[in-house]
Structure 1
Amino acid sequence: MSRPSASLRTAVVWEVLKDALDRRAKSADRAELDVLDTGGGTGNFAVPVARLGHRVTVVDPSPNALFALERRAAEAGVAERVRGVQGDIHGLFDVVERGGCDAVLCHGVLEYVDDPAEGLRNAVAALRPGGGTLSLLAAGLGGAVLARALAGHFAEAQQALAAPAGSWGDGDPMPRRFTAEQLTSLVTDTGLEVASVHGVRIFTDLVPGLTEESESDAEEALGRLEAAASVLPAFHSVASRLHVLAEVR
């Protein structure tokens, strides 16, 4: 018995992002894009994006994460395509150029900043005015409420449901969570057009272990289920994470 793999938990986001980058490259008539990964940490997305042939700048406040990013990029043979700089989304233009990116990844950032709207405006301002893609990934409120309830922590589930930031208490490691409507509203307020919304980790965070006869077959079946449910609005409300893809109008 084992937990679903990390690659399965991010598979939906990766497929959407990869397709979006392919479309952006064709639209820009350039094989190599300039991609900014805010809060990109150790390169979970930056390194695979670099493997596609794009240049990636990772902005992260943690020196340790950036050191791990450098090592990971070198091991993957893409060190020349990945650059790590220390900083955060509120001081983004202290370390990167405004309006210089074809795509911006803002994954796991808005949950931790004091002002999500301001942080997102900075991310969008990094996009080229003539055309750019935003990939936004954030914690979902409904998934946390469901998880606490299924674990028997009913009071915490109710607290998360009622709290403005979606936190279930002092021990909650996640300062803020969002509904799909809140995220899409933040995006459209920046002037971007929402292209798609996907629910992420709808089932994988709830599966205690893969116990079917063939673990690989079980993971493959779970992946297909995640992909099928991710596009259905009814499942966005119970997803652990929400992914919004948006474009410069």
Structure 2
Amino acid sequence: MIERNAAPVRGAESFDQGVSAWQEWQEAPWGRLRYAVAQAGLAGHLGASGAGPLRVLDLGGGDGGDAVWLAARGHRVTIADYAPAMLATAARRAASAGVADRVICAETDVAALPGELASGDFDLVLCHGLLPYTTDTSGTLGTALGALRPGGLLSVIAMNRHSEALRSAVRTMDPDVVLRALDARTAHTELFDAELRMHTAEELTSALHGLGCGEVHHYGIRVFCDYIPDDVLKSDPAYYARLERLEIAAAGREPYKHTARLLHLIMRKPGPAAGGGS
């Protein structure tokens, strides 16, 4: 079901036009690893909580890659995104998976959530891949925390700035390119023709502490994948299976997580531990 809570937001068109390319990326080895490793990390925290069905808010959740996985596990998920074609794809995806009754698609600007989404009633909030597209990091994290009830879980995925120079070295073998990458704060993506802002786990952890969060758990996503130059080999099923096992095993390990292409932070909002869906 799609609910429209705001007028169309400028910029949504670029995401809608990239739906097909985005789905191709998701099906590529690096895209599959992004979801597999994130799901493994999140499952560890959800399992430890002993929670029953949760109320989940997926900020900038696009075509439902995370939402449908959670809905298939019995949780009730609201996707908040301003790109209508992405949301329509998410609705079809949920229907195909038989979980349409547990997924709501809300067409809204994450920076101006309607009251029913910002009211602090959610058990789990996802902020996966949203920070690279916003200039207001603290404001976005504050919005995510504001939607959580006390004791609720927040999951953040962002591009890791520490990975850029290493990735450039492997991919270009050009010292001049790598030198520029040392101070780069953005990376261009052809997928949506955008400059993506990169962050570090240290910066985001500091911002979350400033917003009142306690312990922040840090994981890396694609610790080794982006430094293996043979992209064709990664598509071999047997090789991919081995690579996925490696990536899941390395996600939380020092020092490897610090140079992963993506950083994954999981923390609880201060307050009583979440017990279950409301």
Structure 1 letter corresponding to 2:148: L
Task: Verify the 8 A CA contact 2:53 2:76 in the aligned structure 1.
Answer: yes
Q: Using a 3 Å threshold, how does the CA distance of structure 1 residues 173 and 236 change in structure 2: closer, same or farther?
A: farther
Distance 2:243 2:212 in 1: 36
| Greater Cα offset, 72-81 or 192-201 | 192-201
Q: Following superposition of structure 1 onto structure 2, how do residues 105-124 of structure 1 map, counting pairs within 5 Å? A: 105-124=126-145
Q: Using a 3 Å threshold, how does the CA distance of structure 1 residues 89 and 155 change in structure 2: closer, same or farther?
A: farther
Distance 2:59 2:233 in 1: 37
Q: What is the TM-score of this pair, normalised by structure 1?
A: 0.87
Distance 1:6 1:168 in 2: 17
Structure 1 letter corresponding to 2:71: A
Q: What is the TM-score of this pair, normalised by structure 2?
A: 0.78
Q: Larger % of helix: which?
A: 2
Structure 2 letter corresponding to 1:148: S
Structure 1 letter corresponding to 2:48: R
Distance 1:168 1:87 in 2: 26
Q: Following superposition of structure 1 onto structure 2, how do residues 170-209 of structure 1 map, counting pairs within 5 Å? A: 173-207=194-228, 208-209=230-231
Task: Verify the 8 A CA contact 1:167 1:174 in the aligned structure 2.
Answer: yes
| Corresponding residue number in structure 2 for 1:73 | 94
Task: Verify the 8 A CA contact 1:62 1:86 in the aligned structure 2.
Answer: yes
| Corresponding residue number in structure 1 for 2:165 | 145
Q: Following superposition of structure 1 onto structure 2, how do residues 38-187 of structure 1 map, counting pairs within 5 Å? A: 38-94=59-115, 96-129=117-150, 131-152=151-172, 153-163=174-184, 166-167=185-186, 173-187=194-208
Distance 1:109 1:173 in 2: 13
Q: Using a 3 Å threshold, how does the CA distance of structure 1 residues 167 and 195 change in structure 2: closer, same or farther?
A: closer
**What 5-or-longer segments of structure 1 have no aligned partner?**
none
Task: Verify the 8 A CA contact 1:3 1:210 in the aligned structure 2.
Answer: no
Task: Verify the 8 A CA contact 1:3 1:209 in the aligned structure 2.
Answer: no
Structure 2 letter corresponding to 1:21: L
**What 5-or-longer segments of structure 2 have no aligned partner?**
1-26, 271-278
Distance 2:154 2:97 in 1: 25
